[in-house]
Amino acid sequence: MIADPLRAGRGVRAIADEPGRPPSTISREVKRNRHPGPGDHRPHAARERADARRPRPGMGKIAARPELRDLVQGMPDDRCGPRQISRRLRRDHPDRPEPHVTHETIYQALYLQGRGELRRELARALRTGRTVRKPRRAPDRRRPRFTHPMVMISERPAEAEDRAVPGHREGDLVIGGGGTSAIGTLVERATRYVLPVHLPARHDAETVRDGLITTVSTLPAHLRQSLTWDQGSEMGRHHEFGVATGMPVHFCDPHSPRQRGSNENTNGLLRRYFPKGGDLSVHTADEPAAVAAQLNRRPRKTLGWDTPAERLTTLLTEASRPPVLQRPLEFAVRTRGLSGRTDYFASLSSSSMSLGWSPRSRVSTTSL
């Protein structure tokens, strides 16, 4: 796969395109395992040099025992997986440790074909059908999603979890056909009130940041408590949004849409108006706003058949009343969870200023 194209004069990139490997992989293989004499790449000699450099060049258990190799090679013909083979051999030969082998040893014998322990055709008997092992990272070893640290949903105030205090929102994008257009949505957790975010052309981090700032700036201060989002790349500027609006962003765990259940449900309702596969960039800002207004007028069972608009109107009316003497318990409920917000925004502000970005001055406290 490498030696013949090199003799034909093909370059490293052309050779890498055929198996779908990075050019650096092919280049590294040629440099490390070329013949010390003429300097060309010879596959069998290259394999011997690669095996000699292995930390443990010893022969594997399956390769060292022909009887075990025959037993293992026979069972995949019946579509048995490595774990089934391993458990079956232990059950059929309880008093003989020689046929005992772990499923990981079988996987390595299937995928590390340079060792010659099992036939390559046996990999096709696996349920996934893969001939190359898929690398996986442990959760604690994943690369950071963004350059600025994320604040996870586990650190969100308890008041947001039980929906006791309004102003905590969930957000996401409704993606159009081909992934080239989108409409943003913000759903308030206590009232289920939805606000559309107009994204006219793109949905990259800068466009989403500006669209969120424009939308959130129309909200009163007491309705800008927090925002929960998934770990999509469109939130790469989340720290700048937090500094500009005073609204911290909390991120869901990977592959956990249930942590934004209200938003997922609302996006499903929006799909009745904006079906999958359509171009969302053709819609003006007024069209998603009209759809959101209709959804906000729909009675909800979870709200006791009130509408989100009615619940929001009640909150705004209560907020506009003259202040009265608060009892200690009421004051504690209203201020619960705010103690950590000062440190959060102080860290965001210092990091954002170091990046040369300053929040916009258009944040206001005008009501809807």
Return the CATH number at 193: 3.30.420.10
Q: Which pLDDT does position 365 carry in this prediction?
A: 37
Write out pLDDT tens, residues 121-153: 565 666 676 666 676 666 556 677 788 899 999
User: Based on the structure, what is the number of domains in the chain?
Assistant: 3
Last residue of a domain, one of 10, 30, 56: 56
Question: Domain for residue 109, yes or no?
Answer: yes
Place of tokens 């929102």: 169
Write out pLDDT tens, residues 208-260: 999 999 999 999 888 999 999 999 999 999 999 999 999 999 999 988 999 99
Is 40 in the same domain as 82?
no
Is 126 in the same domain as 33?
no
Question: Domain for residue 91, yes or no?
Answer: yes
Last residue of a domain, one of 133, 164, 190: 133
Cα 26 vs. chain centroid, distance in angstroms? 30
What's the rounded Cα separation, in Å, for the pair 197 and 300?
22
Is 310 in the same domain as 190?
yes
Is 4 in the same domain as 127?
no
Q: Residue 13 is encoded by which pair of tokens?
A: 């990139």
> 173-210 in b/e burial notation, b at 16+ Cβ within 10 A?
bbbbeeeebbbbbbbbbbbbbbbbbbbeeebebebbbb
Alpha-carbon separation of residue 56 from 33, 60, 219, 323 (angstroms): 18, 10, 64, 75
Q: Residue 308 is encoded by which pair of tokens?
A: 């989100």
Is 126 in the same domain as 234?
no
Q: Which pLDDT does position 110 carry in this prediction?
A: 75
**Residue 306: exposure state from Cβ atoms within 10 A (0-12, 13-18, ≥19):** middle
Range of the domain at 34: 1-56
Question: Domain for residue 330, yes or no?
Answer: yes
Is 37 in the same domain as 117?
no
Contact 85, 107 (CB under 8 A): no
Cα 12 vs. chain centroid, distance in angstroms? 33
- Average pLDDT per run of 10 along the chain, which is 368 residues long? 82 84 87 79 81 69 82 73 87 89 83 56 64 64 78 91 91 92 95 94 92 94 93 94 94 92 94 92 93 95 93 83 54 45 51 47 39
Question: Domain for residue 305, yes or no?
Answer: yes
Last residue of a domain, one of 18, 39, 56: 56
Question: Domain for residue 95, yes or no?
Answer: yes
Is 114 in the same domain as 26?
no
**Residue 349: exposure state from Cβ atoms within 10 A (0-12, 13-18, ≥19):** middle
Question: Domain for residue 166, yes or no?
Answer: yes
Amino acid of residue 101: V
Is 66 in the same domain as 86?
yes
CA atoms within 13 A on the CB side of 116: 8
Q: Residue 227 is encoded by which pair of tokens?
A: 């925002």
Is 111 in the same domain as 165?
no
Question: Domain for residue 224, yes or no?
Answer: yes
Written as one string, the DSSP assignment of 238-266 is HHHHHHHHT--EEEPPTT-GGGGHHHHHH
Contact 324, 208 (CB under 8 A): no
Q: Which pLDDT does position 323 carry in this prediction?
A: 60
Is 7 in the same domain as 71?
no
Task: Look at residue 168 and give its three-state secondary structure.
Answer: strand
Helices (H), 53-119: 61-64, 66-74, 82-92, 103-111
Question: Domain for residue 148, yes or no?
Answer: no
Is 96 in the same domain as 107?
yes
Is 346 in the same domain as 228?
yes
